[in-house]
Structure 1
């Protein structure tokens, strides 16, 4: 599944930096750490924005708007709970339902993530933009939260590589 970013280190290694600022070997060696830190930072900032919305404008939104962030977080956990080798069927222990069960789990995780993003889009555009409710910060905040959680999900899943040990 991480095949779309597997050649990232190879394409960067052909670039010669005459100034000596960028060390492409260092980036290729620490790809897992960089993508994990970036995904974790995006996730933390997303929830920070939602907590800020709750602290600043708690009177201007329904308490049900928090469910989008919760489902986005559940989607992040579901998508990243399975390894790429389990999806391909290369795992030593296939699990309870095997490769097809792992793929169904992954699809359900992505559905949770997409559903949370679509729900946050409806909150922003259906409730705050269309009805022109002021202030629109709660709608923008919850949308940004779910967008950042979705980006963290994608970066954490496809930005890392699995080394065979």
Structure 2
């Protein structure tokens, strides 16, 4: 089925052409998302007591941050096998490392969702902002890691 919007074009202004600045823009957006996630949890920790927000919940954010580093430690060329074909496991090790990074990225989101419902929504606590903030922190960190991974281009020098 051919798209009905194939011939529809929007003239973008010159100042909005970000093709040359794609790496910078995606890095800034990813950094702002990462910062906002941690800022939310710092706000929650400073405002609420340890009865309302257990300090063990910080492990979700720590694992999400480790996932960010793991996901972005492997380049797309290494995963495709274009730039990394030597070593002990080569391309296979890069793919396994990336897979573990993604698993480690989804795990804190699932755990934060569990904490949100098990500790705040189901017991009918009057304040659920700590649970929502914990969930938002992990979603923002994971979104930042995805933007930082797939939003940049990799230009290799020969």
TM-score range, shorter-chain basis? 0.7 to 0.9
Structure 1 residues 86-137: Cα deviation after superposition (integer angstroms, max 9, x where no partner): 0011115634321001100000000010001100111112211111122111
Q: Root-mean-square deviation (CA), in Å?
A: 1.7
Matches within 5 A, 1:95-114: 95-114=87-106
Say whether the 8 Å CA contact 2:84–2:90 is kept in structure 1: no
Q: 2:151 aligns with which of 153, 156, 159?
A: 159
- Secondary structure of the corresponding residue to residue 49 of structure 2: coil
Q: Comparing both structures, which one devotes a greater share of its residues to helix?
A: 1
Unpaired stretches in structure 1, ≥5 consecutive residues: 1-13
TM-score, reference length from structure 1: 0.84
Give TM-score scaled by structure 2 length.
Answer: 0.88
Alignment of 1:11-160 (within 5 A): 15-17=10-12, 20=13, 22-24=14-16, 26-59=17-50, 60-92=52-84, 94-160=86-152
- Distance in 1 (alpha carbons) for counterparts of 2:102 and 2:84: 25
State whether residues 86 and 94 of structure 1, in contact with CA within 8 Å, keep that contact through their aligned partners in structure 2: no
Distance in 1 (alpha carbons) for counterparts of 2:60 and 2:49: 16
Find the residue that maps to 2:154 and give its secondary structure. Answer: coil
- The alignment covers a number of residue pairs equal to 149
Structure 1 CA distance, aligned partners of 2:49 and 2:66?
Answer: 24
